[in-house]
A and B are shown apart, each in its own frame.
Chain A
């Protein structure tokens, strides 16, 4: 059953990797704002929607 050690190490490795990423994300202020990111993705395209006009108006 020794292979389980490899799997635990691999799983722990992945887990620690993500723990590191988590700590980085908290420290670097990724989660200081948990409201605007959800809004911001909605505005990443030009306001004109695809159906209203086919004009090439790309001014953002």
Chain B
């Protein structure tokens, strides 16, 4: 047999490993900052780039796409080469992928604090960065599929399937959710409006959890767990069933993020049923992982790699049981908008993704540097500190979440809300927020221990840039035999793969073509009193988006008596047809704002933005003094109005050249005189004026036509 000698590329693995550690520390530290701001609002030092609203997306993007993303690539680049018995398809693409991904992260770290955001959760980055993500992701996919094509091992180990699913599905998700109309270099409006935007967003959001945080890491588990335990997976057959079942069910579960919202009921039920079905494959996978260690539990005692893995797999099991439970409508009616969701994602993120990443790092460094781990003892310290950190994080936040849910719904015996002031409920859980920060500190302390340990390991060893290996090539396919085995010839030899790629291409193309035309026509008013935002309100809404207000304030009143009593009439789908993007939010650290318009005088908003504690003692909202001093950006207005018109908002032709500016001035002058009556003197061109205009508009359209609103109920 003709045996080939080749080299695995370890440099790229090391690069991704180092990036994982660095971004992990950055992302978690930003998370700590956000956590502290929730009980000590002055923590942003009155710097606008550090408010919770701007820092939160930075934290989520950094830990998901920078920490877990780099961790995923590290594990895939290491395991894929060995599973395929082939070097990565192209070194150039590998490094393009690496540096491209890091540049995107840096761009995110710069733009998010500056307030350049689309506001769509986990997809906040503005359009030029979105395009860069698509390009880099395609490069990764080509590298992945190329390596699989030139593999020397006919059988594709189950991990590879998980990697393929990740690459292809994330591409489709990203493109579908990124349909956006630019209104300047770092500003764009979602093509979808209101309910439609919400549905696309959470179809994306849920599947991002599924295909970015779960499937790649399951693939990595199926590689690194057997390797670390030095025994085969408990049941390879089960792992195959795990994969196919998971893939086919996962993509339908998204609507469980929108239970009891204005989404049609059947879609909600569909999401709930598929979410419940997910327990089966998820637990199959978890048990498969844990049972792999049967008869090897003594190794778990001594090997930190396995210790981390056991906790990771257990956390996966807990999170995938809790997820379906939260997707049950009854449970969701209590849990939605509360910190329960935060606890849920963190048990998954800290336990499953975090600990599996740490275990891979502890596994890889000694192997890449041809030495032993510098200190097993320190790794054990990391393990216990990290575990304690998770406990101190999730338990207080579970308590906080359930407390919030129950307090929001509590009526007294006379049938009134027991806690009519939202502030009472949040003050109650502030001590839990403090405990959470303790947990976070412990978790990060563990990461620092790991960093030092791995640094010493690297110092003690000698890096092996390439590992030599030998294997026989696969039998060549007929297409390659005649002529050059070019990339495309290889594809032709694999009709199925070719079809797959073609379908992906068609799908993406089709979506790009169809979506804008199709949806614009769809956005016809169903409630005639709902009108487009005025130019001043558009600017105000953009400030609302920039400051990340939706990180803490929802704009979606669910049809429960406890909510309609507290906030007013429940939200209807027809109210959001001009909302590009939708701003329903997913969290309530403050009251819902869907019916905020007209609740308070303009001067109250002015003073509240200047210092929330002046109007609401005990509030945890940060101060926004810069809104009072910064001038609003009127130059971009024509761009914005044109972009909004293009996505279907019916501003009359030529509105942006004159009439819009006139309307803006008029409305601003009205607010200024209102403010004067309330004892506040200010200029009509300050940002606060636009924000007040927007806040006073929220939910009032439907109030102006009460008969119509009730007819729509």
Q: Measuring CB to CB, which residues of chain A are less than 8 angstroms from any residue of chain B?
A: 1-4, 6-7, 9-11, 13-22, 24-25, 30-31, 33-35, 37-42, 44-45, 50-51, 54, 58, 60
Contacts and interface: CB of A to CB of B under 8 A. Distances in A.
Contact of B237 (A16, A19, A34, A51): A34
B504 to A, nearest CB: 7
A37 B519 CA distance: 48
Contact of B195 (A1, A10, A20, A25): A1
Given A17-B504, A21-B496, A10 B83 contact: no
B199 A3 contact: yes
A51 B360 CA distance: 17
Given A17-B500, A18-B247, A3 B156 contact: no
B499 A37 contact: no
B614 interface: no
Contact of B169 (A14, A25, A50): A14
Contacts of A14: 168-169, 172, 251
State the 8 A-B residue pairs at the shortest beta-carbon distance, nearest first. Answer: A38-B232, A3-B196, A24-B496, A38-B236, A34-B237, A13-B507, A11-B251, A2-B522
Given A42-B232, A60-B469, A50 B514 contact: no
B371 interface: yes
Given A3-B192, A13-B507, A33 B232 contact: no
Contacts of A40: 153, 155, 157
B463 interface: no
B475 to A, nearest CB: 13
Contacts of A17: 168, 500, 503-504
Contact of A15 (B231, B236, B251, B370): B251
B366 A51 contact: yes
Contact of B226 (A10, A21, A42): A42
A45 B195 CA distance: 52
A11 to B, nearest CB: 5
Most B CB within 10 A of own CB, among A13, A19, A20, A35: A13
Contacts of B199: 1, 3-4, 7
A21 B500 contact: yes
B499 A41 contact: no
Interface in B237-252: 237, 239-240, 244, 247-248, 251-252
Contacts of B469: 44, 60
Nearest to A39: B232
Given A42-B230, A45-B82, A54-B462, 9 more contacts: A1-B195, A1-B264, A2-B518, A7-B254, A10-B511, A13-B507, A18-B165, A31-B240, A34-B237
Contact of A13 (B227, B254, B264, B503): B503
Contacts of B223: 41
B610 interface: no
Contacts of A13: 172, 503, 507
A37 B157 contact: yes
Contacts of B226: 38, 41-42
B665 interface: no
A13 B312 CA distance: 32
A23 to B, nearest CB: 8
Contacts of A39: 232
B38 interface: no
B588 interface: no
B584 interface: no
A6 B515 contact: yes
B316 to A, nearest CB: 20
B424 interface: no
Contact of B156 (A1, A6, A16, A25): A25
Contacts of A6: 176, 200, 511, 514-515, 518
Contacts of A34: 236-237, 240
A44 B155 CA distance: 14
9 contacts: A6-B514, A31-B240, A34-B240, A40-B153, A41-B82, A42-B226, A42-B230, A42-B232, A44-B469
A53 B504 CA distance: 47
A19 B462 CA distance: 46
B503 A16 contact: yes
Given A11-B252, A17-B504, A22 B195 contact: no
Interface in B466-507: 468-470, 496, 499-500, 503-504, 507
Contacts of B252: 11
A19 B165 CA distance: 12
A44 B232 contact: no
Interface in B146-174: 153, 155-158, 161, 164-165, 168-169, 172
A41 B83 contact: yes
B267 interface: yes
A3 B176 CA distance: 11
A2 B239 CA distance: 37
Contacts of B200: 3, 6-7
A10 B499 contact: no
B306 interface: no
